[in-house]
Amino acid sequence: MTETTTAVPPAPTPIAPSEPMPHRKVIRSWTNPFAQRDNWHAFVLLVLDYILFSALIAGAVLFEAWWLQLLSGLAAGFVIGRLFIIGHDACHMSLTPNRKLNKWLGRIAFMPSLTAYSLWDVGHNVVHHGYTCLKGVDFVWEPLTKEEFDALSPTQRLLQRIYRSGWGAGIYYMIEIWWKREFFPNKTHMPTRRPVFFWDNILVVAFWIVWAVAITALALAFEQPVWQAFLFGMAAPLMFWFYMIGFVVYVHHTHEKVTWQNDKTAWGKAAPFVSTTVHLTFPFKIGAAMHHIMEHTAHHVDMSIPLYQLKKAQSKLEELLPGRIVVQAFSWRWYFDTAAKCKLYDFKQMCWTDFAGRATSVPRTDVTVVPA
């Protein structure tokens, strides 16, 4: 009897920058082995981060030294970011294999960041991931043109200068994303009206009230000033969180090598799941402390990859697509240099400009330009 053997497909080989970009299905076949999810990671990570959050909030209220209260509050803000990243995975259905469990774990993880699960799902999963860096659709850090900037009121122009100064990332996120689009948004910013949007916001408000009552009770029980409890135990964590998420979404898609498009056809040809994302690297395991959210190219290629597999998936992509992925070592000099360069966008030259309309990055001659 002849024994049959199944042919093993050849291992993928690196694609030279001069060769055409492989189809997304081919690229995702490289990352499929990393899209394995389990419940164990989800529960351990969520419980651990909630314990850290609770302990740090308690420290922010109970420490005697104000600087220890402040440090605890800021650290709690960082943990809010970690919890948010867990919720972000759950919202992508990549945290566990169970869809219903993902939805509930996502809502639980999102509560400290005051994020309404269903509204984030629409704005992030549908709009941002569906149309990354397509002007007129993807609203996250969408750059204005010189003509659009000049048409703004003086107050709006001042806000744009603050947002893109390098110091205003948290203010941008708090106003433009959270307040306008996630916290009981009006019909202008969310034309679709669904009951789940309202009830998810009610859940967020309920958590906010419980948080406020808890720190008030803790302060009164240990004879600490209530105003101080709110300053260090709520305001400081939330402000740190707003700056953390504003910074993260900014550096994920703002870079002199990242292009925006104003035409859907040209955008589709640009392989936006690879060309519009930045892999920002950090020393001292900071990326791991942020649940690997900075391995962002892998996440955009395949949203089903859980956070605990992103590092391996990102390495595989960078191995097989050498020179294609924007990899940037973080430094404050780079960050503020990017903020100085990336103010507005010229869709005719396909380059970033300053507020005066002067080109600050090299025009992209390798990208199809469609007249505005």
Tell me the average pLDDT across 2-21.
67
Phi, psi (degrees; rounded to nearest 5) at 51: -65, -45
Residue 164 has pLDDT above 80, yes or no: yes
The more confident residue out of 137 and 53 is 53
Q: What is the structure's pLDDT at 6? A: 52
Q: What is the structure's pLDDT at 76? A: 98
Range of lowest pLDDT (133-142, 231-240, 241-250, 257-266): 257-266
The more confident residue out of 335 and 270 is 335
Q: Is 64 left (phi over 0), alpha (psi -120 to 50) or beta?
A: alpha
Q: What is the structure's pLDDT at 92? A: 93
Asked, for residue 286, whether it belongs to a domain, the answer is yes
Q: What is the structure's pLDDT at 216? A: 97
Q: What is the structure's pLDDT at 366? A: 56
Phi, psi (degrees; rounded to nearest 5) at 343: -95, -55
Tell me the average pLDDT across 132-157.
94
Tell me the average pLDDT across 162-168.
96
For residue 165, give Cα distances in angstroms to 150, 169, 241, 277, 354.
Answer: 17, 8, 18, 21, 11
% of residues, the chain, pLDDT over 90: 63
Asked, for residue 100, whether it belongs to a domain, the answer is no
Q: Which domain holds residue 273?
A: 116-353
Place of tokens 């709520």: 234
Tell me the average pLDDT across 248-269.
87
Asked, for residue 32, whether it belongs to a domain, the answer is no
Number of domain units in the chain: 1
Asked, for residue 102, whether it belongs to a domain, the answer is no
For residues 71 and 282, the answer to whether their CB atoms sit within 8 Å is: no
**312-370: pLDDT as tens digits:** 999 998 888 888 888 899 999 999 999 999 999 999 999 999 999 999 998 876 554 43
Tokens linked to 187:
């019909």
Q: What is the structure's pLDDT at 334? A: 95
d(CA 291, CA 307) in angstroms, rounded, equals 6
Q: What is the structure's pLDDT at 14? A: 82
Task: Determine the straight-line distance between the first and last CA of the chain, rounded to whole angstroms.
Answer: 68
Residue 5 has pLDDT above 60, yes or no: no
| pTM reported for the whole predicted model | 0.90
Q: What is the structure's pLDDT at 47? A: 97
| 47-51, 279-283, 296-300: range with highest mean pLDDT | 47-51
For residues 266 and 370, the answer to whether their CB atoms sit within 8 Å is: yes
pLDDT band at 301 (very low <50, low <70, confident <90, very high): confident
Tokens linked to 214:
């808890």
For residues 67 and 7, the answer to whether their CB atoms sit within 8 Å is: no
Q: What is the structure's pLDDT at 358? A: 94
> Can you name the residues that pair with 49 across neighbouring β-strands?
none
Give DSSP secondary structure letters for 307-368.
GGGHHHHHHHHHHHSTTTSEEEE--HHHHHHHHHH-SEEETTTTEEE-TT--B-S---TTS-
d(CA 179, CA 140) in angstroms, rounded, equals 14
Residue 268 has pLDDT above 80, yes or no: no
The more confident residue out of 235 and 321 is 235
Average pLDDT value over all residues in the chain: 90
For residue 22, give the DSSP letter. P
Report the SS3 class of residue 107.
helix
**For 109-150, what is the HEC assignment?**
HHHHHCCCHHHHHHHHHHHHCCCCCECCCCCCCCCCCHHHHH
Residue among 51, 72, 177 at smallest CA distance from 114:
177
**199-221: pLDDT as tens digits:** 999 999 999 999 999 999 999 99
